[in-house]
Structure 1
C-alpha cells in the first residue's frame, strides 16, 4: 500500500491506528446494541401486620376529693343530757345522731335511748337530748310515737314550746314532718324565737288548715 499510494511510513502508521480505533469503536457499538433478553421483575409483596382496633387509653381518673372538700359543709348541733361532754358540736353535713353522741364523748351509763333514733340524719341547729327528764313544757324525746288525738294538747298534757322544742319534738305535731320541723327551727333562729303562736303562719309550708291542727298543741 505504501508502494502503490506513495505513503510515507509515518502516514501509513497513523492510518493503521485510525483504522484500528474505528474497528474497536464499531465492535463496541455493535456489542452494546445487540438485543438482550430481559426477565420480568419479581413481584415484591409487602406483608402488612394485621392488628386489632386501636384503643385509646382510658382516661385517668380525676383526683380523689380531698377531706376538706368532702367536709366543706357542716352542721351545728346541741347535744345535752346524759352524755360525757354536752355542748354545741360541729359535724360534717350528713352526720347522724350516733355521730353527735360520739362527738359528745358517748352516752353515760344508765341513759335511756329508747326514744332516740341514732340512725337519723342531723339537721343544722337542732338539739339532741339524751335521757333524763324533758325540759319544762317539752315532751320527752321520742314521745311522739303515742301522740294524742286531733285537737288535744301535746304529749303529757303540756303544749309544745315553739321557742325551745327540738326537731324531734316538733315532729310529734300533726302534719309536721322532719322538713317542716326544720323550717320552724330555722324561722325561730332567724327571728329570735316565737312571740306568739300566730307567727307559725309565716313559716314556709304551714297553711291555714295545718295551722288550725297545730295551734291547740303549741305555745310560744
Structure 2
C-alpha cells in the first residue's frame, strides 16, 4: 500500500524530530554523564571510639596517710596518686617508686610495702620489688641492668666490668665500688638489686 506524499512527509518529520531530540539531550562531548547522587550523611562516631577516659580510679595502699581509692584526671602520674592519698607517712622509702610514671585506670599502687605474691610485681615503679623481682647483680646482662633507674649504657658496662674483674658481687654494698655509683644512686638502687 502506497502511503502517499503526506505519509512520507509524516515519516520524515518524525525522523527529524527524533534526531533533534537526540542532539539536544546528548552531552556535547559525546560521553555519557553520571547522574549526580546526593551525598551520604557523615557517619556518627560510636561512643567506643570517641569516649576517652577523662578520669582514673587508682587504689593506693601501704604507708600513706589516706589509703584507698583516689580519683585522678587522665594522664595522672604516681606522684599525683601519692598526693591524693595524703602523701607518704614519715620515714617511708619512696625511692623505688617511679613518681613520673603515668597511671592507668584500675591499677593498685603499693607504697612502702611489699607487693603480695598474687599481685604482679613486674609493673615498673609500683613499689619496692619482692626478692624474686629484684635484679641479680651476678646474672643480669646489660639490658636488664639498664632497666634500673638512673642506669645507662656506661654505668651498666661499669657494673659488668666490675663483676668480671672481681669474680662477681658478694653483697649489694659492693655496688658502691663501681665507677659512677655514688651514695645517692646507691640509695636508689639497693632495694632494687640482689646478689
If asked which structure has higher relative contact order (CA below 8 Å, sep 6+), I would say: 2
TM superposition score normalised by structure 1: 0.32
TM-score, scaled to structure 2: 0.36
